Amino acid sequence: MQTIRKIVFEEYDDLIKLWEKAGLSHRPRGRDSRENIERQFRESNTIFLGGFEGSNLVSAAIVSHNGRKGWINRLAVHPDHRRRHLASELISASEKWLLEHNIEIFAVLIEDDNEDSMKLFEKNNYRKHTEIIYFTKKLREEV
């Protein structure tokens, strides 16, 4: 059973290792650099939640909001700990944190080839919107 708590910045290396093990890409020279993550840790509208078994980080999510809508980002579960409902527990903890900040709309972006994540969020009562087109503009490819 995992214990979910706020990740502290000193666990940054563990977070990056988890993302790598889970197969999530990261941008070490961009938005996931040590400096950028440290800045994000200080923002009041963002929390890094981690699921721990003992001292081992086995799941994580970045949860943030803009005052209107909440986002669950970078949800990852270590491959050795999957299929144990850890991701659903983390989603529930993320929603609880957002509700504590008066956010009642929860959102997630999932790449179109990530069927497992789509099934996970559908199982957790999220609705897929196929009519939305997502645009981005990057000032640098590394971000």
| Residues 71, 61: Cα–Cα separation, whole Å | 10
State percent of the chain over pLDDT 90: 87
For 102-115, the pLDDT digits (tens) are 999 999 999 999 99
- pLDDT band at residue 60 under the 50/70/90 scheme: very high
| pLDDT, mean over the chain | 95
Domain boundaries, the chain: 3-123
pTM to 2 decimal places: 0.92
Q: What is the pLDDT of residue 85?
A: 95
Q: Phi then psi for 127, rounded to 5 degrees?
A: -105, 130
Domain covering 3-123, topology: Aminopeptidase (3.40.630)
| Residues 62, 41: Cα–Cα separation, whole Å | 10
Please check the confidence at residue 142 and state whether its pLDDT lies above 90: no
